[in-house]
Structure 1
Amino acid sequence: MSDKNLSRRAAAEISFNGINITSSIRPYLLSMTYIDNEEDETDDLQITLQDRESIWLEKWLTEAVDAAASAPGSAPGGYSVGDIVQFTGSFHYISSTDDAGYTAIPGPAQITLSNPGSKHPWHLIHTDNTSNVYGWVNEGDFQGMDGNGSENNSSAGLKIDAVIVRENWNSDGKDKLLPCGQFELDSVDASGPPATITIKATSLPFGAQIRQTKKSHAWEACSLSGIAKEIARSNGMVCMYESVGDPFYARLEQVKTSDIAFLSTLCHDAGISLKATNSILVLFDQAAYEAKSPIFIIRQGKNGGYTKYKMNIGTANTKYSSCRVSYVDPSTGRCIEATARTEDYNADAKNNQQLEISAKVSSIAEAKALAEKHLRLHNKYAKTATFTLPGNPDLVAGVTILLEGWGAWGGKYIITQANHSVSGSGYTTQIKLRKVLEGY
């Protein structure tokens, strides 16, 4: 809680390898930007520092990176980074040394960092929706889950945790947190004048094994969820499979392809979205996310609450009015096919475009479902919009909002990217939207 009599403010809490450096970095911090993506892209973090005295260039950053490179991936007590455990406590903390914590719900979680000897020596991230634990916890606040451990493939890179704290925003003394997640150092840029240091970090580093190692592997009698869980396990991650559909494959060949590229191809072919964040692979059905109730309304006009906007109706790519999926069973010669159509489909229109997909399906129902997903995949960016607003932690990728009074652009949209930035000018949120597709 904040003092109701103080002006509203937003601040960035930053930890390097589990050590809260917020007070040390605050005099130099020019801005921190967190980019949250809905699918396909990694989440990113960018920290910009003023370095007039060359402290970061000549000493501090080098020491931090060197310390991270020698940091172990495990800690005493029988647990290691990457293990899946059952969180049993009731609080989590922004850093391993904080005094004040926030309420957390028990449930399964993954150990993502350790800081032996600190007040809260373990960093946990929940692995499903039963828990919300996302931070540092006490030694006795979790227990092992037999048979659910994962391989320790923690990177030697510098781990950066960030949280945006919005304080007394509505003059009610209440604070609101946006846990940005855990990132790994990706690059450092020095420029000037004026002398600045830009630290860039990502949720899935380019050098990570899941992105870099080319593999050849035969997958037999397996489902998409099974493949995703095995890829996650072998790369020290966990998997959240949130799609009702789960394609089954008699045999697949992964030939000299990285795990993430192979999994991404399977997901696109199946019409399922993929996101890699915070040591978690998330596979989900966009239609289910789009069906959720809007959490926010942007009304056109001077009282709309936005500072900038931009809208577009795309014509670069053809909008398909229908999609047909077909498959000829080689053993029987039987053709299985189904067609999905847009909600405003007009059979008499002369400019109808049909998307043709050839894919293995076992029933007409499966063909219809796949046709709907591919039609959605190709049409989903027909209407887009971008808004810049005062900082709002609720506006994250994957939630839906309503646009009211915007004419042809009115209706329900889903956030494809949320850009949260804290600087000396305040806290702003820029959201990129696409129109929710209805009827298919």
Structure 2
Amino acid sequence: MKTSKISKEIPRKVEPQIKINRKKTPKEITNRIQEIEYVDPATGESDSLDITFSNADKSFILGKTSPKKGDKISARLYLFNWQYLEEKIDLYLGSFTLDDVSISGRPLIAKYSALSIPSKTSFKNTPRSKTWKSTTLKAVGRSIAKRYGLEFVYDSGAVIKIKSIKQSSQNDCEFLYALAKKYGQGMKVYCGKIIIYSKAKYEAKKSLVTYKETDLISWSFNDSIYKTYTGAKMKYTNAKSNKTYTASVGGGSRILHINEKADSKADARLQAIAKLNEENETATTMEIEVKPNPKLIATGTLTITDMGQVNGKYFINKITHTINRNGYTMKLEIRKIQKRIKK
């Protein structure tokens, strides 16, 4: 229940809750957490969670039931007095598979690193070779998700047809990321789900928050014309005729040249548009540190105002949450949303 706005005398408080194999970690153990780092990327990599314990109980770190690779970890943060007195916010970070364990002594320190990938390690570790024929990006994603018992979400209006594509000694995670990227889509693995989404659709969403310069704890800004383009030309070879063709998109003087495989001219144009817009995404970028805001998520957008040429709407590429004895910090990597070239 909301009461009065929080005063400066009432400190905000963060309490982590960790579950290992669905079993809640006792408070006397969570009190020994030295640091939690949670990284929330928009695409291209899995969410990650690092938890460091200092001077924790030996039986927890070295005992028979101590956390081991492959264990399931879930984490959440309870935020108290965040905006209002007696307010409690439940910020769920996600479910993860323990990927790496590092222990040292003395003092006894243990660091557990986990990724938001299925417990079946073959998703990221086992190379596969297969030729996918007469399919779609959505169908490929659904098939791979089903193999690992994951929910599949296709949040894109585009029906991306694929006549034929080879998965050559690639693990399923790597292959699907690359395939989504090839056609201008983002992909995120989170909470037992594979989500493929339209970058353009997510860029069009309403800003989660608006910041002025005085709202930022620290910031850096970069605006570059290097590796930005007004058009693209893609050379591709037709598999049946073995002839080479060229597909062009956009125009102007700064042309991106691409050599890739394509099923047809339409397929080549689709790939060229995706690659062109991907290159242009990095034209204007920022790194900012802000007061932790549970509304902010990677794939969301925010607005910068009252900062001159920095002003604009930005896409959130990555958020790094760090919780330690010095407090809770949130650092964001963001990019200014550019006008997309569509044809």
- 1:354 corresponds in structure 2 to 256
Indicate if the aligned counterparts of 2:163 and 2:263 stay in contact, CA closer than 8 A: no
Q: Choose the corresponding residue for 1:28, options 32, 35, 57.
A: 32
Rounded to whole Å, the distance in 1 between the matches of 2:186 and 2:260 is 20
Rounded to whole Å, the distance in 1 between the matches of 2:21 and 2:82 is 30
> How many residues are aligned here?
336
Deviation digits for residues 78-99 of structure 1, max 9, x if unmatched?
xxxxxxxxxxxxxxxxxxxxxx
Indicate if the aligned counterparts of 1:206 and 1:212 stay in contact, CA closer than 8 A: no
Matched residue SS, 2:176: helix
Indicate if the aligned counterparts of 1:336 and 1:362 stay in contact, CA closer than 8 A: no
Structure 1 unmatched ranges of 5 or more: 70-155, 342-346
Rounded to whole Å, the distance in 1 between the matches of 2:335 and 2:64 is 40
Q: How far apart are 1:439 and its partner, in Å? A: 4.1
Q: Which amino acid letter does the alignment assign opposite residue 414 of structure 1?
A: F
Rounded to whole Å, the distance in 2 between the matches of 1:353 and 1:332 is 25
Q: How far apart are 1:284 and its partner, in Å? A: 1.1
Pairing 1:239–2:145 present: no
- 1:100 corresponds in structure 2 to none
Matched residue SS, 2:206: coil
- 2:203 corresponds in structure 1 to 290
Rounded to whole Å, the distance in 2 between the matches of 1:202 and 1:32 is 14
Matches within 5 A, 1:320-339: 320-325=229-234, 337-339=247-249
Matched residue SS, 2:272: helix
- 2:57 corresponds in structure 1 to 55
Q: How far apart are 1:187 and its partner, in Å? A: 1.7
Indicate if the aligned counterparts of 1:297 and 1:401 stay in contact, CA closer than 8 A: yes
Distance 1:297 1:333, change over 3 A: same
Indicate if the aligned counterparts of 1:391 and 1:428 stay in contact, CA closer than 8 A: yes
TM-score by length of 1: 0.68
Q: How far apart are 1:277 and its partner, in Å? A: 2.2
- 1:9 corresponds in structure 2 to 13
Rounded to whole Å, the distance in 1 between the matches of 2:256 and 2:103 is 51
Rounded to whole Å, the distance in 1 between the matches of 2:313 and 2:144 is 35
Q: Choose the corresponding residue for 1:311, options 204, 221, 224.
A: 221
Pairing 1:435–2:336 present: yes
Rounded to whole Å, the distance in 2 between the matches of 1:334 and 1:252 is 18
Q: How far apart are 1:231 and its partner, in Å? A: 1.0
The percentage of counterpart residues that share the same residue type is 23
Q: Which amino acid letter does the alignment assign opposite residue 57 of structure 2?
A: I
- 2:91 corresponds in structure 1 to 178
Indicate if the aligned counterparts of 2:256 and 2:276 stay in contact, CA closer than 8 A: no
Indicate if the aligned counterparts of 1:31 and 1:424 stay in contact, CA closer than 8 A: yes
Indicate if the aligned counterparts of 2:277 and 2:340 stay in contact, CA closer than 8 A: no
Pairing 1:188–2:101 present: yes
Q: How far apart are 1:357 and its partner, in Å? A: 5.1
Q: How far apart are 1:426 and its partner, in Å? A: 2.2
Indicate if the aligned counterparts of 1:319 and 1:382 stay in contact, CA closer than 8 A: yes
Name the stretch that deviates more: 186-195 or 377-386. 186-195
Q: Choose the corresponding residue for 1:425, options 314, 326, 334.
A: 326
Matched residue SS, 1:438: coil
C-alpha RMSD over aligned residues: 2.9
Distance 1:64 1:375, change over 3 A: farther
Q: How far apart are 1:327 and its partner, in Å? A: 5.5
Q: Choose the corresponding residue for 2:191, options 256, 267, 278.
A: 278
- 1:114 corresponds in structure 2 to none
Matched residue SS, 2:61: helix
Matched residue SS, 2:215: coil
- 1:387 corresponds in structure 2 to 288
Name the stretch that deviates more: 273-282 or 354-363. 354-363
Deviation digits for residues 250-271 of structure 1, max 9, x if unmatched?
3333232211222222222222
Rounded to whole Å, the distance in 1 between the matches of 2:325 and 2:2 is 20
Name the stretch that deviates more: 188-197 or 11-20. 188-197
Distance 1:359 1:421, change over 3 A: same
Rounded to whole Å, the distance in 1 between the matches of 2:265 and 2:128 is 32
Structure 2 unmatched ranges of 5 or more: none
Rounded to whole Å, the distance in 2 between the matches of 1:333 and 1:189 is 54
Rounded to whole Å, the distance in 1 between the matches of 2:64 and 2:153 is 32
Q: How far apart are 1:25 and its partner, in Å? A: 1.9
Rounded to whole Å, the distance in 1 between the matches of 2:128 and 2:244 is 35
- 1:401 corresponds in structure 2 to 302
Distance 1:208 1:333, change over 3 A: closer
Indicate if the aligned counterparts of 2:180 and 2:187 stay in contact, CA closer than 8 A: yes
Indicate if the aligned counterparts of 2:70 and 2:119 stay in contact, CA closer than 8 A: no
Rounded to whole Å, the distance in 2 between the matches of 1:393 and 1:22 is 25
Q: Which amino acid letter does the alignment assign opposite residue 16 of structure 2?
A: A
Rounded to whole Å, the distance in 2 between the matches of 1:29 and 1:328 is 56
Distance 1:322 1:238, change over 3 A: same
- 1:199 corresponds in structure 2 to 112
Matched residue SS, 1:184: strand
Q: How far apart are 1:168 and its partner, in Å? A: 1.8
Q: Which amino acid letter does the alignment assign opposite residue 233 of structure 2?
A: R
Q: Which amino acid letter does the alignment assign opposite residue 219 of structure 2?
A: Y
Matched residue SS, 2:335: strand
Q: Choose the corresponding residue for 2:75, options 162, 174, 179.
A: 162
